[in-house]
Structure 1
Amino acid sequence: MIRTATPTDIPVIHALIRELAAYEKEPQEARATPEQLHEALFGQHPGAYAHIATDDTTGEPVGFALWFLNFSTWRGVHGIYLEDLYVRPTARGTGHGKALLTELARICVDRGYERLEWSVLDWNRPAIDFYEALGARPQDEWTVYRLTDGALRKLGAPNGS
């Protein structure tokens, strides 16, 4: 079962993010606090959204998708950027990941969004195979760039240096 996250889901979303970071071999990078997640998802001006996958028998959360809107200047409409998709190892292979992506695709279709995009680590072959089996295709001609920490602060300083 897939459901829209509620404020009471913040602790489980936080835990799942930390599990995902450990799986991706970067646990030290998962610095978001529950308070930050609450503000981003349920604050006065939410900029992100989340869905929870639950076990069909117990109702316990087993995964999540966290996403936000992007915009295509070429298409002239919004799309969804999937920031995180994670299903606990004990629940993988039971359809939860596909159900989460299906829900996001449904939102795109219902709202007239023309893209559902995400990134995947190049070493994560199980995820790549899963996504390609659904019909997703890599965008090999694009390279992701990121500014963080000191480089971001340096560029964003008042004098830009």
Structure 2
Amino acid sequence: MTDIRPATHADVATILRFIRELAVYEREPDAVEANESSLALALFGEHPAAEALIAEVAGESVGFALFFHNFSTWIGKRGLYLEDLYVTPDARGQGAGRALLAHLAAIALDRGCGRFEWSVLDWNTPAIDFYRKIGAVPMEEWTIQRVTGDALVQLAGRN
């Protein structure tokens, strides 16, 4: 049985380890810039930017979900956005991912959110298949746009 609990400051090192493992899985092992200090500040600082959940089986941390709120002007409600979901390879297929998503769905409902959304890499067919089984649908007409690094600096006029 999987237990889901809110992450605490004591979980920061575990969350960072999971983020690094996720980056390896997503073929970007060198892309993680986060460190324990930046995560602790983002999750548990004076103005938290995000929240995290920990999945445990028999008292061992086997996964996490990191999420935050966004807002839909069209429905006039905030939404819940899942930034990262990760379950260790040994724990996959045993219900931890579903338990994390179900817990997040309950948080979304309890907080009056109109949407629960996330992104998935188009090549990650095991995840996509899993998401279809739980009722998630793709937003076929939408693509994510991103400005980062030098382009972000230039757009802000701070070059």
**How far 1:26 sits from its partner (Å)?**
0.4
Corresponding position of 2:155: 155
SS at match of 2:30: helix
**How far 1:23 sits from its partner (Å)?**
0.3
1:28 corresponds to 2:30: yes
**How far 1:126 sits from its partner (Å)?**
0.1
Choose from 24, 39, 43 the match for 1:37.
Answer: 39
Corresponding position of 1:135: 135
TM-score (structure 2 length as normaliser)? 0.96
Q: How many angstroms apart in 2 are the aligned matches of 1:122 and 1:60?
A: 30
Structure 1: gaps of 5 or more residues? none
Moved over 6 A (4+): none
SS at match of 1:86: strand
- Deviations, residues 67-122 of structure 1 (Å, cap 9, x unaligned): 00000001101110100000001000000000000011001111111100000000
- Percent identity of paired positions between Structure 1 and Structure 2: 57
- What pairs up with 1:6-155 in 2 under 5 angstroms? 6-55=8-57, 57=58, 59-155=59-155
Count residues in correspondence.
157
Q: How many angstroms apart in 2 are the aligned matches of 1:142 and 1:53?
A: 31
Q: Which stretch of structure 1 is more off in the superposition, 126-135 or 27-36?
A: 27-36
One-letter amino acid of the structure 2 residue matched with residue 38 of structure 1: A
Structure 2: gaps of 5 or more residues? none
One-letter amino acid of the structure 1 residue matched with residue 38 of structure 2: Q
- Deviations, residues 6-64 of structure 1 (Å, cap 9, x unaligned): 00000000000000000000011111111010001000000100000011x2x111000
